[in-house]
Amino acid sequence: MAGSRLEKIGTIHSRALGLIETGAKRWEDRPLWFDIYEAFPPKDEPTFSRPAPNLKLRQIFYQEDKIRAQFHKRNKYLGVTNLSNSNAKTLTQKFIENYRKIEEKYDSTQDQETIYSEAIELLKREKEVQQNIDIISSNISIDKNTKESSAKVNLNDIFK
């Protein structure tokens, strides 16, 4: 009995189907991938006895990967990122943009260390400006709230 649970016997699909057909698992509780697998079955069944294909994997690197790696290696604690806001750029994306702007300005005549340090300085200045904007906007909202609350005060109520 325990031998049938080995990955060497059947595929994950055939085992899941067997559980559903015998009633050990309800149809409603099937895995998410089950319907997709049945709609688009693989050309060759992924069984244990079939040897893995000997494919040479290509290394895929983008231009900014070196820049990103350098940035994350030197800056371990970047803070949090709000993943619910897809419009906002992450700190890493802002850094890469700054790095590319500075790199274009120098036309690759400057060494990477100088470009990196200038991009970091530019990022710090942008962060300070954003913090100042946030402070000003919060002060404006506080001023509006105090004006609205003071407008609601009735002088007759105060002197009663």
Contact 103, 115 (CB under 8 A): yes
Record the pTM: 0.51
In a 3-state reduction of DSSP, which class is residue 109? coil
Q: What is the pLDDT of residues 18-42, one digit of tens each?
A: 999 999 999 999 999 999 999 999 9
d(CA 135, CA 81): 20
Q: Has residue 138 got a pLDDT over 60?
A: yes
Question: How does DSSP assign 41-59, residue by residue?
Answer: --SS---TTSPPP--PPPP
Contact 115, 109 (CB under 8 A): no
Q: What angle do CA 86, 132, 79 make, to 5 degrees?
A: 45
d(CA 122, CA 107): 18
Q: What is the pLDDT of residues 42-87, one digit of tens each?
A: 988 888 788 888 889 888 888 889 889 999 998 888 778 888 888 8
Q: What is the pLDDT of residues 83-108, one digit of tens each?
A: 888 888 888 899 999 999 988 887 66
pLDDT at residue 63 in the model: 84
Q: What is the pLDDT of residues 143-153, one digit of tens each?
A: 555 555 555 66
Type and span of the H or E element at 45: none
Q: What angle do CA 67, 88, 101 make, to 5 degrees?
A: 40
